[in-house]
Every structure is written in C-alpha cells, then in structure tokens.
Amino acid sequence: MKRVMILFLTLFFVYGVVESWQINFDSSFATNNEKNFISVFENAFSSVSEKAKYPEDENELLYETLDGMLQNLDPHSNYLSPDQFKELKEDQEGKFFGIGVLISKPSVDSPILVINPIEGTPAFKAGLRSGDLITEIEGQSTSQMESKQAVKMLKGPKGTKVTITVLRDDDEPFKVTLERDEIPKNSVSYSFILQDGIGFIKVSQFGETTVDEVQNSLNNLKAKGAKSFILDLRGNPGGLLNASIGLCSLFLKEDLPVVSVRPRKGWERKFRSEGCKEFCDSDLVVLIDRGSASASEIVAGALKDNKRATIIGTQSWGKGLVQSISPLIKGAALITTAHYFTPSGVNIQRSYVSREHYFFPDLEENSKEKSEGGITPDIVVEQSEIPSLALKIEIRRLFLEFVSKNSNHKFFESQNQDDNLLLSFKEFLKTKEIQFNEDEWNESASYITLALKRDYSTLKNSPEEGFKVMLQIDTQTKKAVEILTTKKTQEKAA
C-alpha cells in the first residue's frame, strides 16, 4: 500500500478541453462584488508582505493563494505555476527541447547518472552512453543537485547550447557542448513480442502523438507475428480526450459508443468510435490499476462495455472529469466543468466524500464508498507486495547505485552467479547502514536478484529490457497471457 500512496500523490491528471481567458486586477469594468473581492485580496496580500514574520516570495504567495482557492472546488481544480503550465503543454504536445537523455540520481550525494540517451537526439549523436556520469552542468556540480534541477538546466529553447562534464568508467572527465533540439516525449514506453503471437504495448500517457504511436506499435508487432495484444495502462494518469477516443477507434467498429460528457449546465455530449480497420477482431487484454486514471479509464470503460477486451488488474483511480485549462497572466487555472460516463452509464469520477478519503481511498473502511467511480476489471488480480526490505532498498535507489558501480562485474552475466551477486550486494548494504535480519533477507532475496538484473539490463541494454525482467513476477501480465493463450487454444480446437 505504501507504493500506492507514493504513486498517487505524485500523479498529475489533465484533459485537453481548453477555454482561454485571463485574470488581471484592473477593476474598471468589475461589478461591486468583484471590486470588494479584489480589495480584500489586495489588503490581505499587502498585510502578509509587510507584517508576516516569515513572509514568502511574492510569486510563491500568489501561486499558493490561487491554488488554495481552486482546490476548495474539488480535488483536481488547481493552479499551475508558469513552469508547471509549460510542462503540461509539453506532455500534451508530445515534445520538448533539450539534449535527449534519460537520467537518474542513484543516491543523494552522487552525480547524475545517464540511464539512456534517446536515439537521434543531441546526446545520442555526441556519443553519450548508458552508465556515464554527468558531474557538472554549466560548471555546477550535480552531486548536490536534485534530478528535477538537472532536468531544468538541460532543457531550453531550441538551438541554445549547454555544456556538461562527463565521467566514464575510470577515464578522465571530459566536457561536451550540446545544442538543444526537439525531443519526442513518447506515449508508448515499451512495445515488444512478449511470447509467440502475443504483443505487449505499454502506454504511459495520452497526448497528441498517442494514437499514431500505438498504431505503429500494432503494425510492427503484427509484422513480427503478433495476433493478440496486451495493452498496459497501469500507472497511466491520462491526458487528452481525443487521444483516448482515437485509441478506442483502433479496436472498435464504427459508431460504437466510447464516452459521454455531462456538464453542470448544458447538453450531454456523446463521443463514438471512428471505426477500426485491421485490428477490429484481434484478441485484446487491457491492464489497469489504481494508477490508471482519466483517459486510461475512458479507454478501459469503452472496451469493457463494448465487450471488445478483457480488463485485468485492480480498480482504477476514478478520475472522470473534464477540466478547462484557463491561461492566466502567470500560469494557468485548471477548473472542473463536467464528468465522464462510460457507454453503460457508469460515472467514472469517484465521489468527493473528503480530501482524505479521495486521496487515500484504501484507508476508507466504507466498502460502498470505496466501490464508487473508476473502472472495475473483468478479472481482479492483485500484484504481489514488494517485501519490506526490498521496498526500503527501492525507495533509497540502492539497486541502481550498486549496479552503476559494478556494471562490469561478471556476476551479472550468468545465472549461476546469483549467489555471488547477492553476497556482494549484501556487503554493499552494510556500508549503507541498512538494518535487516536473515528472515527479512530471505524473504526479499528473489526480488532483490531480479531488481539488480533489471537495473543492470536497463543500463547495459535499454529501459525496455529492464522492464521485461520484472515481468517474471508480474501476476497481472501472467494472467493476461493465460487468458490470451486459452483463447488461442479454444479457437484452434473450434
């Protein structure tokens, strides 16, 4: 449950229904009530700035005030700072400008680690490799720098340059100056043949490029022999409404219901499938969990209600609302304007009993309230819990730190070296003052072995290869394979 809490408190959900307006405090055309409100706000703002013992930066004070006002409406109405608004637009457009490298921070005081340079980007062309350490950005040490700060420094307008210092193995550090360029922000994280005849596609978000990416993945997997597919929407916080309708249209025949929008005022709007072409009848399983929200739930709900796919996993989050993105002089406001309903009439949006109940649904004892909203899978399959010691190690990112320091060791290359790998890692944990007993170690040993191989495969090969390693203990994916294999056997028998 701890993993669930961490995940959901960091989720950012948004839909692409845009209405534009701006706020300023010119009261020439304001009503009396509006003028009174503006006066009260200005007085309070001035009092805090002048008298508060611990006054905040004026911009931060304004941002927090606006955020507090909007959050009183519902849990998802909120204020976006200028930086957050910029990130939102990058997510929706599916691109940003930078050097094109996936980075991580193995430990609090370590330099930035290169996980993977994206093919075709400035970092890739300059020869950066997985496992490289970026020790400086524009002369600033990255050892005490958070990943978020490093990402912000590496991003910038197209054509501008950034100089980094790279440390590779035991060689001397060297400087590289890179010219920032457009970097694709892909919706499809992974796409591969899982086993004979079964293609696996993981969609991480819904943006402008999502439908084309999924279509290309389907075509490529079909060319490699895939006849059935697993669509992984777990941990997908959503995105653009049009992208969810377009994705459904890859699998649903023309004019089938996808979703309806019911506002507080006005007419209900109904959206229907545009019509599939070559994947209308392919066997399909969709994976969802508590991290699946908004556009993910629209897709899962539509495919379920139209009996087009088998939905496997756990109850989805329950965020089925339309949000108007309203640009302001600084940043933007997200305001809820309507709810989404599945073809069978299920309100995707979970009720707002309280903020605590909404953001921590697993703490709510009332089963009726727990069941409201979201998409219920056809087959409920819980994931195995990460053992407590392994979870502690994951949170501190010690798997990645160990692998980055030992990636050339022979115990990663052979199955019969697992005992040596575990022994070496056990000694490493002692240097990090991680306390555990033998029972805790034995309980976590299998997971630890896989997690180390995951991070090794990620650094040596690609994030996709690392992802595949953990599918060995993925109970939901195993169930999906079982369902598709059974269907295939039944079809042959018929």
Quote the pLDDT of residue 59.
77
Per CATH, the number for 188-380 is 3.90.226.10
Instruction: Determine which helix (DSSP H) or strand (DSSP E) holds 200, and give its type and residue range.
Output: strand 198-203
Residue ranges matching CATH 2.30.42.10 in the chain: 95-184
Q: How many angstroms separate the CA atoms of 363 and 5, rounded?
A: 10
**pLDDT for 133-179, tens place per residue?**
999 999 999 998 888 899 889 998 899 999 999 998 778 899 999 99
409 by DSSP, 3-state: which? coil
Q: 95-184 sits in which CATH class? A: mainly beta
Quote the pLDDT of residue 282.
96
Q: How many angstroms separate the CA atoms of 255 and 264, rounded?
A: 26
Alpha helices in 127-279 (DSSP H): 147-154, 210-223, 241-248
Quote the pLDDT of residue 94.
61
CA distances from 132 to 138, 195, 339 (A): 17, 33, 46
Tokens matching residue 252: 């649903």
CA distances from 75 to 68, 205, 327, 356, 378 (A): 11, 20, 19, 10, 28
Task: Mark whether 319 is an active-site residue.
Answer: yes
Identify the active-site residue in 91, 305, 455, 474.
305
Phi and psi angles of residue 269, each rounded to the nearest 5 degrees, phi first: -110, 135
Tokens matching residue 85: 């608004």
Q: How many angstroms separate the CA atoms of 489 and 28, rounded?
A: 74
Model pTM? 0.81
Identify the active-site residue in 155, 185, 202, 319.
319
Amino acid identity of 386?
Answer: I
Identify the active-site residue in 244, 294, 326, 457.
294
Beta strands in 244-331 (DSSP E): 257-263, 269-272, 283-288, 310-313, 321-327
Per residue, the 3-state secondary structure of 312-361, as one string, reads EECCCCCCCEEEEEEECCCCEEEEEEEEEECCCCCECCCCCCCHHHHHCH
Residue ranges matching CATH 3.90.226.10 in the chain: 188-380
Tens of pLDDT along the chain (494 residues) come to 333 333 222 333 333 232 222 333 344 555 667 667 778 777 877 887 777 776 677 777 777 878 888 877 887 888 888 888 888 777 666 667 999 988 888 888 889 999 888 888 999 899 898 888 999 999 999 998 888 899 889 998 899 999 999 998 778 899 999 999 988 888 999 999 999 899 999 999 998 899 999 999 999 999 999 999 999 999 999 988 999 999 999 999 999 999 999 987 788 999 999 999 999 999 999 999 999 999 999 999 999 999 999 999 999 999 998 878 888 888 888 888 889 999 999 999 988 776 667 777 665 544 444 546 899 999 999 999 999 999 999 988 899 999 988 888 888 877 778 899 999 999 999 999 899 999 999 999 999 999 999 999 998 899 999 999 999 999 999 999 999 998 776 666 55
Quote the pLDDT of residue 200.
98
